[in-house]
Amino acid sequence: MGIAFVSLIILVLVIFIGFFRKINVGLIAILAVTIFGAFIGEKDSVIIKGFSSSLFIMLLGVSFLCSVGITNGALEIMSKKILKLSGGHAFIAPILIYIIGFGIAAIGPGCVPALGIVAALSLPLGKSTGYDSVMLAIIGEIGSFTGRFSPITPESLLIQKLTEPQGITNYQSTVLIYASITTIILSILIFIIFKGYKVKTNKIEQDEITPFNKNQILTLIGFLVVIIACTLFKRNVGLISFAVGIFLVLIKAADEKAVFKAISWSTLLMITGFGMLMEIVILVGGVSLLSDNLAKIMTPHTAIAIQGLTGGIMSWFSSAIGVVWPTLVPTVGSIANTVGVPAEGLISIMCLTASFAGLSPASTGGGLIMAANATDPDFTKEKENKLFIKLFAISVLMVVFIVIAALFGLYSIL
């Protein structure tokens, strides 16, 4: 039994122990990686390096700013104002949050800022409409999974940079079409899974919506500053969110103690601790073991599906834009020519599966959903553990759905 295989077994055990013993999965992951690292003779410095400071800053920064917006009521009123666009009809909420996720991502900043904003909006919007806030957050993030492939986003520019040397061009419209159809269908599936159709969506009385006060207006301007800074000046969303949030606290737009109390430190530890284990799994070849074995069984009928499954699996353990696409996109030209499948299909499916894998709580999308819901006073430790498993299961379901669609040739039509 190789070390790579053992690392995958440890990964599964950590998730199960955390769930059934109702202990923070991040803590179990840190324990596991410390023991496993010592067993394989890995240096402590390498293990500690697995703690993603950039991810931590991003999550904490966005959580800090979102906590400002939640504690001073800005996001709650904003969610009601959004519903006012539809005349107060609550049943429009899932559609609106999908459009918001799509729009914010598509105008330039890409997926990450959109993920943070829709995750933050989902909790007050859920309370206003009666919909499950997790469902709304997922649908909003799914919307951003389409918007991230507009021609001006970092994701789109990266893929273009990787495909041009292979002579692959004119694929972007195909990716957008596939992404739009897939995300709309899967948003409907999420709506059904969470039984959104059972929610009584009565019209919200418009006179119930109080006007914004000065602090709330300043907070919303702060969110706008984050979007502009990420879009026009390519600044890190975590750092900018921190800066804006701290400024708002300095001018007394929110109470500092309330903001810190609203941040779920256990959730941040869960995500970053789990990430430390992921780094060792990658280092010892656990992810490569999975990917290599999948590649061995590629045929013209299964190539696109396997490429998608490989991208999804890799994205559960690493960044789509930082690892998955830089690794897999350069293989597209060779696979397309050797196996005889359309390059557009290969690009589209790896874009989609890597995105939907991001709904995992170990990834940015799922992590931000957990961080946003953790600001709810009713969000207990038991609910946190259940949500961790639920998001991972939904992530797997979405990836499997896309892969099955590929097996039926649905990503080879255009």
* Structural element, H or E, at residue 30: helix 25-39
DSSP for 205-270, please give it.
Answer: PGGG-PPP-HHHHHHHHHHHHHHHHHHHS---HHHHHHHHHHHHHHTTSS-HHHHHHHS-HHHHHH
Residue 414 lies in a domain: no
User: What 8-state DSSP symbol labels residue 321?
Assistant: I
Residue 412 lies in a domain: no
Residue 413 lies in a domain: no
CA distances from 165 to 169, 311, 334 (A): 10, 21, 12
Query: Which pLDDT tens digit goes with each residue over 315-339?
Result: 887 678 767 887 788 888 888 888 8
**Which residue range(s) make up the domain with 294?**
3-202+209-407
Integer Cα distance of 360 and 317 in angstroms = 9
The region, left, alpha or beta by phi > 0 then psi within -120 to 50, assigned to residue 376 is beta
Residue 156 lies in a domain: yes
Residue 105 lies in a domain: yes
| Number of domains, the chain | 1
Residue 33 lies in a domain: yes
Integer Cα distance of 130 and 135 in angstroms = 11
H helical segments located in 86-205: 93-106, 111-129, 133-147, 154-163, 172-193
Task: Give the closest residue to 37 by CA, choosing from 15, 7, 9, 13.
Answer: 7
H helical segments located in 284-380: 286-295, 303-317, 325-328, 332-335, 343-357, 364-373
Task: Give the closest residue to 254 by CA, choosing from 381, 115, 375, 341.
Answer: 375
Query: Which pLDDT tens digit goes with each residue over 340-393?
Result: 889 999 999 999 999 999 998 877 888 888 888 877 777 777 788 888 889 999
H helical segments located in 40-132: 44-49, 53-71, 74-84, 93-106, 111-129
The CB density around residue 249, as the number of other CB atoms within 10 Å, is 19
Residue 29 lies in a domain: yes
Give the list of residues 6+ apart from residue 293 with CB closer than 8 angstroms, or none. Answer: none
Residue 376 lies in a domain: yes
The CB density around residue 215, as the number of other CB atoms within 10 Å, is 17
Tell me the pLDDT of the chain (414 aa) as tens digits.
689 999 989 988 887 788 678 788 889 999 999 999 999 999 999 999 989 888 788 778 888 887 898 789 887 787 677 767 766 677 888 999 999 889 878 876 678 778 888 888 888 888 878 899 999 999 999 999 999 988 877 788 788 888 888 888 888 889 999 999 999 999 999 999 999 888 876 655 555 678 899 999 999 999 889 878 877 887 887 899 899 999 999 999 999 999 998 887 877 888 788 889 888 988 998 877 866 776 677 788 899 999 999 899 888 876 787 678 877 888 888 888 888 889 999 999 999 999 999 998 877 888 888 888 877 777 777 788 888 889 999 999 999 999 999 999 999 887
111-129 helix and 214-232 helix, angle to the nearest 10 degrees:
150
